Amino acid sequence: MPPINNSINIAHVLRLCTNSVQRARVILLSSLPNRCLLCQQRIEQTGYQQLFPNQVLTGVCQECLAASLYQHEVCLGCGREIAVLQAYCGKCLQHTPNWVVAPCSYHQGLGPLIAAIKYQQQCAPLNAITQQLACRIELLIKHGIIRRPQVLIPVPLHPNRLRQRGFNQAWLIAKELSLLTNIPVDDSCLIRVVDTSPQTGLAGKQRRKNCHGAFRLLDGMTYQRVALIDDVVTTGTTVDEIARLFSTQFVHVQTWCLARAEAPGLLD
């Protein structure tokens, strides 16, 4: 009788158990009351699990989600609508700002949900929006617009802010993106050393002053390509400050976020 490979059998049993737990989770979540936070209608799962296996759509219905995503290509520099899939609009080609990848505009539907994630701990829509971000990322990688980074780095909170809020929404987004893209998360190489005031309501010059010197890179950086993860990019002051630190180590930086809050009038 041939010997039994116990390690293979155990691994097989663990995979079966994991799959069973995932299926049970999907069935359970699908059976619970689940209404869209935007339109208050019941969220239907029809067709969604074909796109995202073992995932349950929560927090936002398919109709509101689809209507709030970009319906056109956008410049990765400023967020302006462009006619074809490319990195920059003509204006941004002149100074090539940092890339910002987002699936939607903060001002066109999903802004209240993204704000509720941060300020009200209402995380029900987080997975669905992150999944749309992952789809956008894969499209841009497939067409050679962006390169796949080696690691995801969530924009850190100062320890004081983390204790006050109880969680870092950028870390939650990064962990979900890691599962979807198979790119690891590193939350240890970048720290926030200054407990800055909230950026909301500050003008551009005030934002830059507020963020200057707020972050520090730890020694031993070994990456060449990284993606910063945040919930919303407005003026880009925070991610630009972090990108400046990485540039001193010759590290290429791009930013991935749930939504982009474009400059006033840009979408008119």
Mean pLDDT of 116-127: 93
Say how far apart CA 18 and CA 137 lie, in whole Å.
Answer: 27
In tens, the pLDDT along 85-100 reads 999 999 999 998 999 9
Among 42-51, 57-66, 195-204, 255-264, where is mean pLDDT lowest?
Answer: 195-204
pLDDT score of 225: 96
pLDDT band at 226 (very low <50, low <70, confident <90, very high): very high
In tens, the pLDDT along 153-187 reads 999 998 898 898 899 999 999 999 999 999 999 99
- Domain range enclosing 88: 51-199+206-260
User: In terms of pLDDT, which residue wins out, 17 or 29?
Assistant: 17
Where do runs of H (alpha helix) occur along the chain?
6-31, 48-51, 62-68, 90-93, 111-120, 126-142, 159-165, 169-181, 204-211, 237-247
In tens, the pLDDT along 140-155 reads 999 999 999 999 999 9
Total number of domains in the chain: 1
Say how far apart CA 242 and CA 216 lie, in whole Å.
Answer: 8
Percent of the residues in the chain that have a pLDDT greater than 90, as a whole number: 62
Q: Are 4 and 13 in contact (CB under 8 A)?
A: no
Is 24 within a domain?
no
Is 39 within a domain?
no
Is 174 within a domain?
yes
Is 226 within a domain?
yes
Say how far apart CA 53 and CA 249 lie, in whole Å.
Answer: 39
Q: Are 79 and 50 in contact (CB under 8 A)?
A: no
- The CA-atom distances, in angstroms, between 195 and each of 192, 205, 236 are 7, 18, 18
Is 9 within a domain?
no
Is 62 within a domain?
yes
User: In terms of pLDDT, which residue wins out, 41 or 7?
Assistant: 41
Is 29 within a domain?
no
Place of tokens 């050679």: 144
Both structure tokens of 143: 């067409």
Q: Are 204 and 210 in contact (CB under 8 A)?
A: no
Is 233 within a domain?
yes
User: In terms of pLDDT, which residue wins out, 31 or 118?
Assistant: 118
Whole-angstrom Cα Rg for the chain: 20
Q: Quote the pTM value.
A: 0.83
Is the Cα dihedral 84, 259, 70, 134 positive or negative? positive
Q: Are 194 and 158 in contact (CB under 8 A)?
A: yes
pLDDT score of 201: 54
CATH code of residue 139: 3.40.50
